[in-house]
Amino acid sequence: MEKHEEIVDARGLACPQPVILTRRALEAAEKGSITAVVDSEVARDNIVKMATALSCSVDVNRQGKDIYIHITKPEHFGTALEAHENLLFFVTSDTLGKGSEDLGRLLMKNFFYALTEQGGLGKVIIFINSGVTLACSGSPVLDYLYELQQDGAEILSCGTCLDYYRLRDRLGVGQITNMYTILEYLQKVPRVIYL
């Protein structure tokens, strides 16, 4: 017989009980997934927030008045960072080194070309300030970044910076991030290389 997954029936309960009960069930579940049933949108949104913060994947279905929230635990439950991310490239400019800007752009291209040779697995690349232009359409290294991402690298660009340079619509690779996430990566990834 198929093993039934745990169901948390939090219908009719006042905030914050639904999210508390779901979290407890999620922590207790050895592996796999649970389903929470609620009947309010506030409970739904709060449970989705909690599960997302714990890196779970979430699927929401409505059946009449009841809302079913199916939550699947990740392999590394409770940690936002993937365990294998061990090298962070913190790219603060669109040129590499101080001096001629033309030379700096060439050096940056050479750098990312060389990096593709090593593969992307375990690497995080964060772009801030004019560095974000490297992840946007028209960038000389966009193809290399795409390859690195395909290879397993995580690529993040600062949203405030994209807005400043009016490049949000032109982001070509990776995700948009914020200063909280950037700070978390700088503190948690064992090795950081500043460019």
Partner 1 sequence: MPDDAGVFRLRPDLALVQTVDFFTPVVDDPYLFGQVAAANALSDIYAMGATPLTALNLVAFPSCTLGAEVLSEILRGGCDKVAEAGAVVLGGHSVEDDEPKYGLAVTGVIHPDELITNHGAQGGDLLVLTKPLGTGILVTALKGGLLGPAEEKALGETMAALNEGAARAMREAGATACTDITGFGLLGHLREMAFNSGVDVEIEVAALPLLPQAREFAAQGMVPAGAYRNREHLAPYVEIVGEVTAADQDLLYDPQTSGGLLIAVPEERKDELLSALRREGISRPRVIGRVIGSGSGKITIRGI
- Nearer of residues 7 and 15 to partner 1, judged by Cβ: 15
Considering only the stretches 3-11, 104-112, 133-141, 177-185, report the one whose residues sit in contact with partner 1 under the rule CB under 8 A: 177-185
* Residue 179 is a binding residue for partner 1 (CB under 8 A): yes
Helix (H/G/I), strand (E/B), else coil: 34: strand
CB of 123 to partner 1, least distance (A): 22
Return d(Cα 110, Cα 103) in angstroms, integer.
10
Residue selected from 6, 7, 32, 53 as contacting partner 1 according to rule CB under 8 A: 53
Q: What angle do CA 130, 133, 138 make, to 5 degrees?
A: 150
* Residue 19 is a binding residue for partner 1 (CB under 8 A): yes
* Residue 50 is a binding residue for partner 1 (CB under 8 A): yes
- Nearer of residues 180 and 194 to partner 1, judged by Cβ: 180
* Residue 81 is a binding residue for partner 1 (CB under 8 A): no
* Residue 150 is a binding residue for partner 1 (CB under 8 A): no
Return d(Cα 94, Cα 60) in angstroms, integer.
41
- With a CB cutoff of 8 Å and minimum separation 6, the contacts of 20 are none
Question: Which spans in the chain are helix H?
Answer: 17-28, 41-53, 101-118, 142-150, 159-164, 179-188
Q: How would you list the strands of the sheet with 57-63, edge to edge?
A: 6-9, 33-38, 66-72, 57-63
Considering only the stretches 26-34, 114-122, 125-133, 153-161, report the one whose residues sit in contact with partner 1 under the rule CB under 8 A: 153-161
* Residue 15 is a binding residue for partner 1 (CB under 8 A): yes
Task: State the chain's maximal CA–CA distance in angstroms.
Answer: 70
CB of 56 to partner 1, least distance (A): 12
* Residue 73 is a binding residue for partner 1 (CB under 8 A): no
48 neighbors 69 (Cβ within 8 angstroms):
yes
CB of 98 to partner 1, least distance (A): 28
* Residue 23 is a binding residue for partner 1 (CB under 8 A): yes
- With a CB cutoff of 8 Å and minimum separation 6, the contacts of 139 are 133, 145, 172
What are the residues binding partner 1 (CB under 8 A)? 15-17, 19-20, 23, 40-42, 45-50, 53, 158-160, 163, 176-180
